[in-house]
Structure 1
Amino acid sequence: MRVFELARELNMPGKDLIVRIKAIGIKVDGNFNVLDEKQIKEIRAKVSAAA
């Protein structure tokens, strides 16, 4: 899954999600970076906890 697809799923702008992903410690350069399942689960958990 790409960053922009996850951002759409989480109903947030891609730029905001990139900031949060970088804060978690995952290296991304932009909306088209591909995330693996482990990263996606971690991002969903952190974003859900922050909401």
Structure 2
Amino acid sequence: MGTFISLIGIGKSLKHNAIEAKNQLRKLFSVIEKTLNSTKIRNIFNNVKENFPLVL
């Protein structure tokens, strides 16, 4: 019975670690996607064009 309980604990730990890894990968891919698409830079230039049309 003790072995069974420890296996349950290991299973829960692995599940928790997998969920944490998935969340970290999701954040990493989000940053990579934003960097590659340059959405921040594009938005800045669009805002400048809208608010200050004589600058650009």
Larger radius of gyration: 2
Richer in helix (by share): 2
Q: With structure 2 as the length reference, what TM-score do the two structures score? A: 0.28
